[in-house]
Amino acid sequence: MFSSEAEAVLQARYLKDGETPADMFRRVAGHVAQAETRNGRDSFRAADEYRRLMDDLVFLPNSPTLINAGKARAQLAACFVLPVDDSLTSIFETLKNAALIHQSGGGTGFSFSRLRPACDRVSTTGGEASGPVSFMHIYDVATQVVKQGAARRGANMAVLRVDHPDIEQFITAKRSHDVLNNFNLSVAITDDFMQAVAAGRPYALVNPRNGGVVKTVAARGLFSLLVRMAWESGEPGLFFLDTVNRYNPTPGLGAFEAPNPCSEQPLLPYESCVLGSINLTRLVAGGDIDFGRLRQVVHTAVSFLDNVIDINDYPLPAVAEATRRTRKIGLGIMGLAEVFIMLDIPYASEAAVKLTGRILEFITGEARQASALLGAERGSFPAFAASVYPGRGFAAMRNATVTTIAPTGTISIIAGCSSGIEPLFALALSRRVLEGRVLTSVNRTVVDYLSQRNLYTEEIAETIATCGSVADTALPARIKEVLATAREIAPYWHVAHLAAAQMFTDNGVSKTVNMPHEASEADVAAIFRQAYAGGCKGVTVYRDGSRAEQVLTGGTVC
């Protein structure tokens, strides 16, 4: 049932000595179900339901849950955000906390926007401040050192507001190669900035220490620099700060400043979030999604993720407190691109975008119902009364958020499906995983699709294995559309799916807008504008071949 890639990944990090995948799922299910006993319920029944979902590969929790469940100090969440205040004490206290989180398998996001800019005064020493970017380098080195002993690579997100005086230095921080490798960078974009860009207005950069305007720059010049760097290297990404805060379910607890490393999960300082994803390829029946079964899966998955909050061994008391206050969970999907192939719909089509919206609307709706039921039975999240939910007619709600679309980088390999809402990167993949090992596989959904239509000839099989694509074959145009890969799909459609999914997802959506090597800077600018106008919470682009070391490469030879 598991692909050779899945077996390799499982053996390397997930399975304990002598454990089979079925043992692992039993371990995870049993551990999480213990929380049922605390709520006066039957943990055996819950454990059995959870185990069956995982055994069927229809739902998998994020990697830290799979790896750590059953341990004495089991930290199960993937995403954390920590605050960085404008003092050495705060900067190094947070660095220590980040190290502890990385050691436990979690990834951390930080906003450096509150730090005074480089060359600003430091009253205690009479010297000059070194600025946010210099501290990011210290964090990067610490992450590099800690990761040797951690369950998995510690990942970081650094955010800087677009009106911070050091923004240009931040945007170009990764221009010299081989620096900040443990960081993803995102610029926090405000509505005000996007309006200044549209109007061609000047734009003020403000010292966060005293609110003083340090200098005024052309908004379009800054935007062009951002576009240029994203075109060159895929970074920084954009984090649409005002959009994110418009959807803050607990504004009374403070505003969002940063998301987690892969940017799908905005969190308040010290909050953590556990993610889990439904493998949609297991839910296709009779030429459609089996929505009845999907409903059951969503309800069980919400119960699972909610129990993780109670059973989790948090790495810091402040994280335990902030997480228990809002009880955020992030249920998402994977395998979407393969569902489109199974249903014979091109990813680049209105029909597919509609289906993306319909699936997420259904999942978020059902997950909210499940959370409302749990809230009625076990109590709402403590900050419920001050949240947006009472005003929307909810009498109870167990979790302040219910859905997030994670990248599913590893769990999609285990489940044997395409990741998140991404189109297929290629029809055959060579993946560099686990310190340089190369693993190859031909997509099984694609083989089935072509075989069912008597089109999987030796010649086509050979082309797929070597090039990872059927674009240059004599197959009918419609077949080529359905089997189009990420870089053959116009960026417009990538953003259309991102926006459709975001519209019905509580938290963020992980998505890379892939572009062909020939794409221009104007193309990148158009994607950024479309994403902002479409209500996305963030966007990342990647131009094929723009980084020397790609994690994924299409085809096995070319």
Positions touching ligand UDP (CB under 6 A) are 62-63, 78-79, 106-107, 152-153, 155, 260-262, 264, 275, 406-411
- The yes-or-no answer on residue 260 being catalytic is yes
Q: Distances from the Cα of 233 to the Cαs of 171, 178, 196, 400, 538, in angstroms?
A: 11, 12, 25, 36, 17
- Is 264 among the catalytic positions? yes
> Smallest distance from the beta carbon of 153 to ligand UDP, in angstroms?
4
Choose the catalytic residue: 260, 312, 399, 507. Answer: 260
Helix locations, 234-290, DSSP H: 241-246
For the bound state, the minimum distance from the C-beta of residue 112 to ligand UDP, rounded and expressed in Å, comes to 18
Q: In what order do the strands lie in the sheet with 428-433?
A: 437-442, 428-433, 552-554
Contacts with 235 (C-beta within 8 Å, 6 or more apart), sequence order: 174, 184, 185, 229, 540
Supply the minimum distance, in Å, between the C-beta of residue 55 and ligand UDP.
Answer: 18
DSSP 405-458: B---TTHHHHHTS--TTPPPS-SEEEEEETTTEEEEEE-HHHHHHHHHTT---H
Rg of the chain in Å (alpha carbons): 23
Q: Name all contacts of 116-123 with Cβ < 8 Å and 24+ positions apart.
A: 116/86, 116/207, 116/208, 116/209, 117/164, 117/165, 117/166, 117/207, 117/214, 118/165, 118/166, 118/169, 120/207, 120/209
Q: Which of 235, 264, 338, 366 is catalytic?
A: 264
Q: Minimum distance between the CB of residue 267 and ligand UDP, rounded to whole angstroms? A: 10
Comparing CB distances to ligand UDP, the nearer of 143 and 303 is 143
The whole-angstrom distance between residue 148's C-alpha and the CA centroid of its chain comes to 23
Told to judge if 184 belongs to the known catalytic residues of this protein, a careful annotator would answer no
For residue 391, list its beta bridge partners.
none
β-strands 272-279, 329-334: how paired? parallel
Q: How far is the CB of 285 from ligand UDP (least distance, A)?
A: 26
Q: Which residue is nearest to ligand UDP (CB)?
A: 107
Closer to ligand UDP by CB, 160 or 274: give it. Answer: 274
Residue (184 or 443) nearer to ligand UDP, CB: 184
Sequence-distant (6+) residues with CB within 8 A of 233 are 174, 175, 546, 547
DSSP SS3 for 61: strand
Q: Helix or strand or coil: residue 99?
A: helix
Minimum CB separation from ligand UDP for residue 265, in Å? 7
Active-site residue, from 97, 248, 257, 262: 262
Catalytically active residues, by annotation: 260, 262, 264
